[in-house]
Amino acid sequence: MASSLLGLNSDEFPKGRGNTRPESAERCQDDELVRKLRAGEEAAYEALLQTFQQPVYNLAFRLLNDPGDASDVVQEVFLKVFRNVGHFRHQSSLKTWIYRITVNEAHNQRRWFFRHRSREVGFDDEPEQVSNRAVPDSARSPFDYAFDRERHVLIENALARINPLFREAVVLRDIEDLSYEEIAEVLQISLGTVKSRIMRGREALRVELTARLEPEATWRLAPE
């Protein structure tokens, strides 16, 4: 019931914007942007931030479930991008390269958390809701918007409770819409491991969502 309600049966997980440009066009734009970044053009830095700042924040937030930590990761990611763009070899897309840096920085942030903050912060705290950043579609009814908002919060909260290794694979595939090959490149793991983590992550997510939705659904359907 929970799976069908939230569209979690297969690749129908709610996705982000994903990669909508043709691969050849994307590569040409990446090459041009990298060329301008290497030349130190200020407009290129602005274009890079405009294109990737929000996606990087969204990815970091979903991996860490903390807005402050996600903001710290964003700063570190773009510092590394600016410093190392001369070493970008075009063996992957610019997006994949930046996402790999983001995942690595999220790992570093998580390790820092366990070393320095785990005794100060409770692990059972409810994750902060980020639905206030959503923009309603004026063509849809208030009920539709409220349902989508509740659905979004349920998924975000469930993601925060599953194994981080599985969470990052599910986020990259089902929200960021990366291919298996791109995920393998971002996470530096084999295709087989990518598929295994996605499968196990989706199952863990279904368990979390089912546990939260089914009691509520039963209560709603109970006769008066």
> What string of H, E and C letters represents the secondary structure of the chain?
CHHHHHCCCCCCCCCCCCCCCCHHHHHHHHHHHHHHHHCCCHHHHHHHHHHHHHHHHHHHHHHHCCHHHHHHHHHHHHHHHHHHHHHCCCCCCHHHHHHHHHHHHHHHHHHHHHHHCCCCCCCCCCCCCCHHHCCCCCCCCHHHHHHHHHHHHHHHHHHHHCCHHHHHHHHHHHHCCCCHHHHHHHHCCCHHHHHHHHHHHHHHHHHHHHHHHHHHHHHHHCCC
pLDDT > 80? residue 26: no
Give the closest residue to 78 by CA, choosing from 112, 36, 46: 46
Please list, residue by residue across 86-95, b when 16 or more beta carbons sit within 10 angstroms of its beta carbon and e when fewer do.
Answer: eebeeebbbb
Would you state the pLDDT for residue 154?
Answer: 84
pLDDT band for 144, please (50, 70, 90 cuts): low
More confident residue, 148 or 65: 65
> Other C-beta atoms within 10 Å of 32: how many?
12
Summarised one tens digit per residue, pLDDT across range 67-124 is 999 999 999 999 999 999 988 888 789 999 999 999 999 998 877 655 555 444 444 4
Position 218 confidence tier, pLDDT thresholds 50, 70, 90: very low
Q: Is the pLDDT at 183 greater than 90, yes or no?
A: yes
User: What domains sit in the chain, N to C, each tagged with a CATH number?
Assistant: 19-125 (1.10.1740.10), 140-224 (1.10.10.10)
State residue 28's pLDDT score: 86
d(Cα 16, Cα 34) in Å, to the nearest integer?
24
Mean pLDDT, the chain, whole residue set: 77
Contact 98, 52 (CB under 8 A): yes
